[in-house]
Amino acid sequence: MRKHAMWEARCNRCGRCCYEKIEYEGDIYYTDEPCEFLDTDTKLCRVYTTRHQRKPDCSPLTPRQLGRGLLPKDCPYVANIEGYREPQLWDEDET
């Protein structure tokens, strides 16, 4: 199995990484707004192979990106990162 295929195989297809995020005062927050290309029934990207061209702000999941706190704590990509800080749900009433 190629290295890229092994990396992709970690994904459990929860779709939570495909919800819009906001960075506010150094913290990352989830919104309740899915990416326009996320199929919310299957939780798969409808344009996966061209997602970075179709949506330039779609963050590629690279080992370097993982430390930014973009993924839920139970995501297989970040599950073993000690002290990982996951995004919180954005609550407009609190800002």
Render pLDDT for 3-61 as a digit per residue (tens, 0 to 9).
878 888 888 989 998 999 999 998 899 899 999 999 999 999 999 999 999 999 898 88
Q: What is the mean pLDDT of residues 66-77?
A: 89
Structure tokens at 57: 């702000």
- pLDDT the model gives residue 42: 95
- pLDDT the model gives residue 41: 95
The whole-model pTM stands at 0.80
pLDDT at 1 over 60: no
3-state secondary structure the chain: CCHHHHHHHCCCCCCHHHEEEEEECCEEEEEEEECCCEECCCCEECCHHHHHHHCCCCCCCCHHHHCCCCCCCCCCCCCCCCCCCCCEECCHHHC
Q: Which residue has the higher pLDDT, 61 or 92?
A: 61
The domain limits of the chain are: 3-90
pLDDT band at 64 (very low <50, low <70, confident <90, very high): confident
- pLDDT the model gives residue 77: 92
CA of 56: how far to CAs of 36, 47, 60, 90, 95, in Å?
13, 12, 10, 22, 27
